[in-house]
Each structure stands twice: as structure tokens, then as C-alpha cells.
Amino acid sequence: MYTATKAPIDGKRRTEGLSLRATDGNWSIGEGREVAGPGIDLVRAISGRVDAYDTLEGPGVETLKSR
């Protein structure tokens, strides 16, 4: 749901072209450069919470941060 949102969360724009994968559960979505981490921190990062980036890893993290 968060990856499809527009303003004010803007998750669709933040996650476009990225693959998100939860490391603590069986959940993934999208295609592209991977961002992996705890599910709750993925949701927080999609929502624009910059404090969530510390636990995320993968080649798509910098792209997500820049958005």
C-alpha cells in the first residue's frame, strides 16, 4: 500500500525502479536496485523517515535516500 501512495507520503515516487525486500519476513515488491532490511524500517523509509536508513542495505539505498 505505501509503495502506491502519492502525496503526502509519496511512496510511489520514492520506490519507483527499486526492489524492496524484508529481511525479517517473506515480503518483497518491485524490480530494480535492491533495498533490503527489516520490514518496519522499509515502511518507515518509504514514508520519508530518514532515521530508518541506518538498518537498510543494498545498491538501491542511496537512490531511496536521494528521493
| Domain membership flag for residue 8 | yes
67 in a structural domain: no
Q: What is the mean predicted confidence (pLDDT) over 9-18? A: 88
Query: Which grid cell is 46?
Result: 518509504
* 29 in a structural domain: yes
Residue 65 lies in a domain: no
**64 in a structural domain:** no
CA distance 35 to 42: 8
Does 49 or 4 have the greater pLDDT score? 49
Q: Which domain holds residue 28?
A: 2-59
In a domain, 25, yes or no: yes
More confident site: 11 or 63: 63
Residue 32 lies in a domain: yes
Domain assignment present for residue 66? The answer is no
End-to-end CA distance of the chain: 18
Q: Which triple of cell numbers denotes residue 1? A: 500500500
Q: Is the pLDDT of residue 62 over 90?
A: yes
Q: For residue 10, what pLDDT is reported? A: 82
Residue 5 has pLDDT above 70, yes or no: no
Q: How many domains does the chain have?
A: 1
pLDDT for 4 beyond 90: no
